[in-house]
Amino acid sequence: MELNRNHYFVIGVVLILIGIQVRMVDTYVLNQAASERLIPKPERTLANDLSFTNLVSNTTDVRKTITPAPWIGWLVISVGAVLTLHALAMPKAG
């Protein structure tokens, strides 16, 4: 599929909006299902099952927190701006 002017423009605008969102939010807290996919589970052994910390603590609600670097938002905004300007410079279809 060949990308035309409208595709470049929409992709650029979406990237600009995503970049603004990354700049506005400091940290992202993932839900339980996404955290379980990212955090590796330790091997189950008898010693781990009977340890005092496993009996006392509740580790079932572990949520991963992601703090993106400040430059990532600017990077995404600039790529979106370049794509949007490229779309405006392209000739119209037809």
Q: Tell me: the pLDDT tens digits for 3-49?
A: 889 999 999 999 999 999 999 999 999 888 887 787 776 666 655 55
* Torsion angles phi and psi, residue 28, rounded to 5: -115, 130
73 vs 5: CA distance, rounded Å: 24
Per-domain boundaries in the chain? 1-26+73-94, 27-66
| Whether this model's pTM surpasses 0.85 | no
Residue the block writes with tokens 């990532």:
72
The pLDDT assigned to 36 comes to: 78
Question: What pLDDT band is residue 85 in, cutting at 50, 70 and 90?
Answer: very high
27 vs 24: CA distance, rounded Å: 9
User: pLDDT above 70 covers what percent of the chain?
Assistant: 77
84 vs 92: CA distance, rounded Å: 14
The pLDDT assigned to 64 comes to: 85
